[in-house]
Structures are given as C-alpha cells and as structure tokens.
Amino acid sequence: MNKIEFNKDEKAHMVRKLKLYFTEELEQEIGQFDAEFLLDFVSEELGVYYYNRGLNDARVILESKFSDIEDALYEIEHVTEFTK
C-alpha cells in the first residue's frame, strides 16, 4: 500500500482540529509540534483501519451497482435457442 500523504494545507487544517479538540474537550493546550506528532502517529498506526473500511464500503457499493447492471442486461436480452 502506498503511504497516504496530505499536502501542507490539509495537514495544517488537521493539526488545527487536533489542537482545538484538546482545548475544547480535554481542557489542555497542545503545542504545534505535539499536535503534528500525534497526527503522524494516528495516521500511521490507525489510519489503515479507516482506509480499509473506506475500501470495504466502496466495494459494497460497487457490488450493488454491478448487480444492477447485470439485472439490466438480462432485462434487455432477447431469447434465442442459444440463451442459457
């Protein structure tokens, strides 16, 4: 699996959200370096679980759509002596 990387603006946004969470929910201040370190840890150690869940959710949607397409093809198929 390729490493998931975020651009500078995306990472800065996520760091701000972490810092805000610590301030509002935990009533603790967290510095920029610590927030970046925490983000890297969560991304590397836990991110794969979210990534895999997203892939699984996408797989379920695709299977449903493929089933719909298969049904639509059977609906327009003409019966012949070679039809299975």
pLDDT digits (tens, 9 = 90+) for 27-74: 999 999 999 999 999 999 999 999 999 999 999 999 999 999 999 999
Residue 1 has pLDDT above 80, yes or no: no
Q: Which of 17 and 2 is assigned the larger pLDDT?
A: 17
Is the CB of residue 68 less than 8 Å from the CB of residue 57? no
Asked if 40 and 63 sit in the same domain, the reply is no
Query: CA separation (Å) from 65 to 52, 56, 59, 76?
Result: 20, 14, 10, 17
Residue 76 has pLDDT above 80, yes or no: yes
Asked if 51 and 84 sit in the same domain, the reply is yes
Asked if 24 and 40 sit in the same domain, the reply is yes
- 58 lies in a domain? yes
Distance (Å, whole) CA 66 – CA 70: 6
Asked if 54 and 82 sit in the same domain, the reply is yes
